[in-house]
Structure formats: C-alpha cells, structure tokens
C-alpha cells in the first residue's frame, strides 16, 4: 500500500510545502521572505504575517506539482518546533484545519531531526545512497551547530553543540561588520572563492569534548578589523576577499576538527552534513577531502535540501506515519527543544 504525505514547514522565514509518496519526493515548494532583508535579520512578527499570506498558495502549488488530488493524501506532517512561535503557529493551525477537513491524521515533526532525515529523501524511486546507521551528522545552521549521533530514524543523540554562537551566526555577524548584508553566509562564501585563506589568522577555541564555540572567532575577527582600520580606513574594501576566505577557512577548520575527533573516538566513518551552512562550498570541499584522507563515506545534501524545506518534514513524517505515531488536535508548537 502506498503512503502519500503532505509536509508543512513554517518554523522561521520560509513557507514550504512538499508531497512525498513512499519516500519519493513528488514536489517541494519554498516561498522565502524578502521582507526581512531591510532589517538585517528575521523579524518574527513579519515572518508570521508572511506565512499567513503564503501558506494556502504554497500548499496548493505543492499538491498541483505533485500531480495528485488532495483526497489522495494519507497524512499531514508539520514542523512542531523548534522555531519562532508565531511562525510555527501558522503551520500548525493550518495543518489542524486541513487534516480535519480531509479526515486524515497529523504527524508532528522536530525541525532539527528533519534536517538530519533529509538525507533519506529519494528524488527518484531508484535513488540509493542513504546513510547507514549509526552515522554522525554535523548540523550547522543560523541557530545550531551540533554533532549528532544518529542511531536510527528516531534515536538521535546530540554529542556536541555550540556553547555560544552557531556557525551560521558567526558567518552572518562577521559579514555584517564588513557591510555585506543579511544573510551574510552565502556572500562570504562567494567572496572567499576569490581570496587567500591564509592571509589572516583568527583565534580558534580550545574547549573539551565535541562542543563548539564561535564567539572567540567573532571577537578576533572584529579586533583584526578594528586594528587595521586605525591605520587604513579602506582596509575592509581592499581585503574583502581575503578576509572572507580566512574567515571561512577558520570556521570550516573548527567544525571539521571536532567532527574528525568524534569519528575517530566512536569509530564511525559514515558522516553527513545538514542545515543552511552545509551549502558552504568550503565545508563541502572539506567533507570530500576527509572522505579521501580518512575513508569516510560522506553524505552531502542537494543544495535545495540545505535550507528549510518541507520535503524533509514530509520525509520525517513518513517514518512516523509507518510507526503509527500520530498527533492529537490539542497539539501546540514548541519554540525551544533539544533533539
Ligand atoms: O538552516 P538555515 O536555512 O536556517 C536557520 O537556521 O536560520 O541556515 C541559515 C544559515 C545562515 O546563517 C546563512 O548565512 C547560512 O546558513 N548559510 C551559509 C551559506 N548558505 C547559507 N553560510 C555559509 N556559506 C553558505 N554558502
């Protein structure tokens, strides 16, 4: 019997809906929100309003592109959290109404687990190469930097995480002081491709275990700018590419050092990366390099699955649906949670 799941994602500033049938993606529609660019960050109230405007057309388009009728849906999976409360409420409330009208079950999904499970999405029925358990997943985004030990689809243990800023935050904050706009991560990445990664040295944290810290790097980056700007007001403009290349290399190095340690200690060579920062080409190259040097079997997501998307929510919902894990109408979103 085939199972068709509609996924709904509205945890931050992307409204997304996707249809997955038996693990194969039929559609994945994402509406971003340009309204935040002028503010240099996501404005929660504006995000909720944009979700409210986007959700009906985005879901309609996902169903249309999947080539199905809504009556063919078996369940609706939605992001319950973590995320912005007002944003989550839009997806959760929409799901309640739509599921009730179709008389089908709802399945709640943890956004962070969904990023990890994006690696199981099949784009065609023949798609193979999904990770084998147990594997390590580096989850790096604007709000998280974690090393997750994935034992099964629903058994995940966070073995390391940032004690202050996330990796995406480090990119964004350093980009902001260089006047590169928001979100700065992709711009830093683009400029880094033209720069010398050894031009500048920034401090790296020394903390035990598998935890991360990026606040020291941010301060070291700021001090470098401050010191050079005293001598040369045009320092940033003249060294933008080198600054970006050196920053990116330092972030990637910090991320990979702990991941390498975890892989060695636990004897796990199946290693994945997920989240917005997994779009970074320096990080992707480092994964390929580690595969060659250490015999890792690596899993790097398609660019479409690096940012928030509903295909990963539908995929996670599909696994829960198969286990009969449904959610009641009294569900409320949660803004914070560990995996
Ligand atoms: O997972 P995500 O879409 O959502 C949040 O957690 O907000 O991640 C967004 C983060 C931002 O910090 C953004 O600057 C970063 O991912 N990012 C990148 C790149 N693309 C997105 N950072 C570095 N290089 C990139 N190519």
Residue with tokens 């350093």: 174
| Strand order across the beta sheet in which 145-152 lies | 155-161, 145-152, 135-140, 270-274, 297-299
Encoding tokens for residue 98? Answer: 């739509």
H/E run at residue 53:
helix 44-66
3 state DSSP class of 325 = coil
Q: Is 275 in the pocket of ligand 1 (CB under 6 A)?
A: yes
pLDDT number for residue 339: 64
Q: Is 279 in the pocket of ligand 1 (CB under 6 A)?
A: yes
Ligand 1 centroid to Cα of residue 232, in Å, is 31
pLDDT number for residue 34: 85
pLDDT number for residue 2: 96
Q: Is 11 in the pocket of ligand 1 (CB under 6 A)?
A: no
pLDDT number for residue 338: 63
Beta-carbon contacts of residue 227 (< 8 Å; ≥ 6 apart): none
Encoding tokens for residue 177? Answer: 């002081």
Q: Which of 204, 295, 197 is nearest to 247 (CA)?
A: 197
Quote the pTM value.
0.95
| β-bridge mates for residue 297, sequence order | 270
Q: Whose CA is nearest to atom 8 of ligand 1?
A: 276
pLDDT number for residue 153: 94
Residue with tokens 């997806």: 91
Q: Which of 279, 272, 281 is nearest to 306 (CA)?
A: 279
Q: Whose CA is nearest to atom 23 of ligand 1?
A: 185
Ligand 1 centroid to Cα of residue 335, in Å, is 19
Instruction: Give, for ligand 1, the residue of 12, 116, 141, 195 to mutate: max count of ligand atoms closer than 8 Å to Cβ.
Output: 141
CB 26 within 8 A of CB 128: no
Ligand 1 centroid to Cα of residue 273, in Å, is 13
Give the whole-angstrom CA distance, residue 55 versus residue 335.
20
Q: Is 172 in the pocket of ligand 1 (CB under 6 A)?
A: yes
Q: What is the pLDDT along the chain (339 residues), one digit of tens a residue?
A: 899 999 999 999 999 999 999 999 999 999 998 888 888 788 899 999 999 999 999 999 999 999 999 999 999 999 999 999 999 999 999 999 999 999 999 999 999 999 999 999 999 999 988 999 999 999 999 888 999 999 999 999 999 999 999 999 999 999 999 999 888 999 999 999 999 999 999 999 999 999 999 999 999 999 999 999 999 999 999 999 999 999 999 999 999 999 999 999 999 999 999 999 999 999 999 999 999 999 999 999 999 899 999 999 999 999 999 999 999 999 999 998 766
Encoding tokens for residue 9? Answer: 């994602």
Q: Which atom of ligand 1 is nearest to the CA of 279?
A: 26
Taking residue 115's Cβ as centre, other Cβ atoms within 10 Å add up to 32
3 state DSSP class of 273 = strand
Beta-carbon contacts of residue 73 (< 8 Å; ≥ 6 apart): 4, 5, 6, 19, 63, 102, 104
Angle at 148 between CA 218 and CA 271, to 5 degrees: 95
Instruction: Give, for ligand 1, the residue of 139, 171, 306 to mutate: max count of ligand atoms closer than 8 Å to Cβ.
Output: 171
Instruction: Give, for ligand 1, the residue of 276, 304, 309, 310 to mutate: max count of ligand atoms closer than 8 Å to Cβ.
Output: 276
Q: Whose CA is nearest to atom 14 of ligand 1?
A: 185
Give the whole-angstrom CA distance, residue 148 versus residue 114.
13
């Amino acid at each position: 019997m085939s199972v068709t799941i509609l996924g709904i994602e509205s945890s931050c500033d992307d409204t997304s809906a996707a249809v997955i049938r038996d693990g194969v993606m039929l559609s994945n529609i994402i509406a971003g929100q340009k309204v935040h660019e002028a503010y240099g960050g996501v404005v929660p109230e504006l995000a909720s309003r944009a979700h409210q405007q986007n959700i009906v057309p985005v879901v309609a388009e996902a169903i249309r592109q999947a080539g199905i009728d809504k009556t063919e849906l078996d369940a609706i999976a939605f992001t319950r959290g973590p995320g912005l409360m007002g944003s989550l409420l839009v997806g959760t409330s929409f799901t309640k109404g739509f599921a009730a009208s179709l008389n089908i079950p709802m399945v709640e999904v943890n956004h962070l687990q969904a990023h990890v499970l994006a690696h199981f999405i099949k784009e065609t029925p023949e798609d193979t190469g999904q990770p084998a358990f147990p594997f390590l997943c580096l989850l790096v985004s604007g709000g998280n930097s974690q090393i997750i030990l994935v034992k099964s689809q629903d058994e995940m243990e966070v073995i390391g995480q940032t004690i202050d800023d996330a990796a995406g935050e480090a990119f964004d904050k350093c980009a902001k002081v260089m006047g590169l706009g928001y979100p700065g991560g992709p711009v830093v990445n683009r400029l880094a491709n033209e720069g010398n990664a050894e031009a500048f040295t920034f401090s790296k944290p020394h903390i035990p275990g598998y935890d991360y810290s990026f606040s020291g790097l941010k301060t070291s980056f700021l001090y470098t700018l401050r010191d050079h700007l005293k001598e040369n007001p045009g320092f940033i403009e003249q060294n933008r590419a080198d600054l970006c290349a050196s920053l990116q290399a330092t972030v990637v190095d910090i991320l990979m050092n702990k991941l390498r340690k975890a892989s060695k200690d636990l004897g796990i060579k199946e290693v994945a990366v997920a989240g917005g920062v997994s779009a970074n080409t320096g990080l992707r190259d480092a994964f390929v390099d580690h595969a060659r040097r250490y015999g890792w079997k690596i899993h790097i997501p398609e660019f479409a699955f690096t940012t928030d998307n509903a295909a990963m929510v539908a995929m996670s919902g599909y696994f829960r649906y198969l286990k009969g894990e449904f959610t009641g109408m009294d569900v409320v979103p949660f803004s914070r949670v560990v995996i």
